[in-house]
A and B are shown apart, each in its own frame.
Chain A
Amino acid sequence: MGPITTAHYLALSAALLLIGTIGVLTRRNIVIILMSIELILNAVNINLIAFSHYHQNVNGQIFAIFVITDAVAEAAVGLGILIALFRNKETVLADEVDLLKW
């Protein structure tokens, strides 16, 4: 095992991003789609922190804080929408909500 470089973190972050994207694109359950979005945002944060550490510059961590704030807002509103959807349509499956589909 060699030393851990920035490239290791970038590879891990890319893998996490791809797993999250697979989750968003293939799952039917909206709760798990929202969880996959959290995975994607965490992949972005790993990337930011890796470069912040590499350049010894704290700006990347500031950006990560903003990303986390966004993730919180997104989760709160997304879950609120989910509750409203479940109350009106009695389903949490994304492909059963096809009112606008041709």
Chain B
Amino acid sequence: MTDAVSFYIFAALVLGGAIATITRRSAVHSAISLIISLIGVAGLYLMQQAEFLFAVQIVLYVGGIMVLFLFVIMLVNLDQAAKERQFNRQWLAALVCVAVVGAEIAYFMRKGASAFQISGAAAPSTVPAEGNTERIATVLMSQYLLPFEITSVLLLVAIVGSVVMAKKRI
């Protein structure tokens, strides 16, 4: 019961924040709505015993990415853009495409529900002997060591790329 209530609260936060993000005129309002949505997602992680990802979500998304967004919003002058049309001319075609994709997803979820029994109750929550962070660390450092190292190369590329992009003359 508590589970259901908190799920619906977090789901309302996620979806409400998301809808506000894509409809607000002011980019700062959009960013604040996105923060609300991301905090809702973090709550959903916590409900599914992904405590490490909960912390990462708060620290990295809300603390890191959103501050980056707010910096850029202040750096770039958005007053002019806020006065103009907010949606482009193809919005009707876009909505039709999204509706088609949504119908597809709903159809396959309905079809797959019987095959994979995903509509049944979630697996019983047994508390493992070791903590969530410890389990993630063990798997990340053994089974996924090469992808982990490649990720650091990706981050290096991203650092160099963003520094080059932000240079005075490009």
List residues of chain A with CB under 8 Å of any chain B CB. Answer: 1-12, 14-23, 25-29, 31-32, 34-36, 38-39, 42, 45-46, 49-50, 52-56, 58-59, 61-62, 64-66, 68-77, 79-84, 86-88, 91-95
> How many Å lie between the Cα of A84 and that of B163 in the bound state?
11
List residues of chain B with CB under 8 Å of any chain A CB. Answer: 1, 3-5, 7-8, 11, 14-15, 18-19, 21-22, 27, 30-31, 34, 37-38, 41, 44-45, 47-50, 52-53, 56-57, 60-61, 64-65, 68-69, 72-73, 75-78, 81, 84-91, 94-95, 97-98, 101-102, 105-106, 109, 113, 118-123, 126, 132, 135-136, 139-140, 143-144, 147, 151, 154-155, 157-159, 161-167, 170
Across the interface, B76 reaches (CB within 8 A) one of A2, A66, A82, namely: A82
Are A32 and B87 neighbours in the complex by a CB distance under 8 Å? no
**Contacts between chains A and B (CB distance < 8 A), count:** 238
Across the interface, A27 reaches (CB within 8 A) one of B14, B86, B105, namely: B86
A-B contact pairs, 7 of them (CB 8 A): A1-B1, A5-B120, A18-B98, A26-B87, A27-B22, A65-B136, A80-B166
Are B60 and A72 neighbours in the complex by a CB distance under 8 Å? yes
